[in-house]
Amino acid sequence: MNKENIQRSLESRKIDHSINILEPGELSPKHTASAMIDLLQSVYSKHAISNNKKQVITDIEDGRLVTWLAKKDDKFVATASLIAQAGDSVEIGRAVSNTKGVGGVLMDLAVLHHLHTSSKPLIAEVRLADEFKGIPGSEATQHICFDKFELNPHAVAPFFEHGNRPRRESFVLSRSDIKRLSSISGVVHETISGRSFGGNESRLLMTQKEPFQVVQDSNDGMQIEDFWKKNNMLNNPTFTLFPIEAIDQNMALIGQLLQNPRCVICGLDSNLGKSGKPIILLGHVGLDTKIAPSKVSANLPILMKRDIQTIADKFTSLGNQNLDRFGEWPNGSWIDRKGVIWTDQS
């Protein structure tokens, strides 16, 4: 991550005089939270944090959330934030702009502030969605995070839900303190190739339900078949992440998950597991999971670009499957289980 490049990019911008940039702390936490949530909603219709304004205010008060805003003609037009993470990193995110040329400035200001005040790694959940049903595409954020901030991808999956009629979008987990892998799948394959998948499968325990399910190996968990039935995994309309440390005792479980046609290798966790081995990330989507199409547009090395696109496309084609009698994903119409017909215009 090159501070000077970001500084130069910021200085080269010509910001309209009618734009007023509000630094963190210029507004009260309550006003900051309202402006941020309104802006996120104006772009996404529904955003995970919209329902939790109290928490947003507390996070601002406690300094975990540091927010930049921009106003034009007394209306808020853009926002971007730094969000302290439970580990040792800081996220750049919650960025939206409905006025071209402003969002990028706020993201640059936030990242420069981070680089001047902290030595912690920077992370981002970079959107991959193509423009779809009124929600803008992710070309700008991909360019900013991968080409300009030089963040390095380590996992891809349909983690979060947006939209009036909610559907998941794929995101790329990226960070500043890892080297740029040649491809995500390649590194996962290197980690598991030549290993024995024999033995008893570890048990599974659900450790998170929202905004996506997280299921881990645990002695307190259930056998894989019982877990699948109890949680109706085949039809479950959500996304489930399986972070499994690649230790010998877990290889039978990893083998079982890999054999499931609805499970996709989606990357590596940025931390090693308790035994010091890599944690492999596998993702599962149910037949009823709605997933928006993705388009990798950043200027990433070609192998990495293709790999990210392939992983995201696998998820998109595995989701939306109960619709196959009618649906022509991504361009046509489709019908959901309740009989509602969706079209690109609806």
Ligand X SMILES: CC(C)(COP(=O)(O)OP(=O)(O)OC[C@H]1O[C@@H](n2cnc3c(N)ncnc32)[C@H](O)[C@@H]1OP(=O)(O)O)[C@@H](O)C(=O)NCCC(=O)NCCS
For ligand X, the binding residues (CB under 6 A) are: 9, 43, 93, 95-97, 100-105, 127, 136, 138-141, 143-144, 148
Q: Which is nearer to ligand X, 103 or 286 (CB)?
A: 103
Helix then strand then coil, in percent of the chain rounded to 5, is 30, 30, 40
Give the 3-state secondary structure of residue 94. Answer: strand
Q: Which is nearer to ligand X, 14 or 338 (CB)?
A: 14
Structure tokens at 339: 């009989």
The residues, any chain, with a CB within 8 Å of residue 8's CB and separated by 6 or more, are none
Q: What's at 211, amino acid-wise?
A: P
Give residue number: closest CB to ligand X. Answer: 103
Q: Which is nearer to ligand X, 123 or 254 (CB)?
A: 123
Q: Which is nearer to ligand X, 186 or 211 (CB)?
A: 211
The residues, any chain, with a CB within 8 Å of residue 163's CB and separated by 6 or more, are 44, 45, 46, 133, 135, 292
Sheet architecture: strand order including 75-84: 19-22, 65-72, 75-84, 90-97, 122-127, 167-175, 152-162, 263-272, 278-285, 239-245, 213-217, 204-208
Min separation Cβ 207 and ligand X, Å: 25
Residue appearing with tokens 């995110």: 93
Q: Which is nearer to ligand X, 103 or 293 (CB)?
A: 103
Min separation Cβ 194 and ligand X, Å: 38
Min separation Cβ 100 and ligand X, Å: 4
> Are 131 and 113 within 8 A, CB to CB?
no
Min separation Cβ 5 and ligand X, Å: 9
Classify residue 294 by burial, with Cβ atoms within 10 Å: 0-12, 13-18, 19+. buried
Q: Which is nearer to ligand X, 40 or 253 (CB)?
A: 40
Count other C-beta atoms under 10 Å from residue 237's C-beta: 18
Q: Which is nearer to ligand X, 148 or 314 (CB)?
A: 148
Min separation Cβ 10 and ligand X, Å: 8
Min separation Cβ 101 and ligand X, Å: 4
Min separation Cβ 1 and ligand X, Å: 14
Can you tell me the distance from the alpha carbon of 180 to that of 157, in angstroms, rounded to the nearest whole number? 18
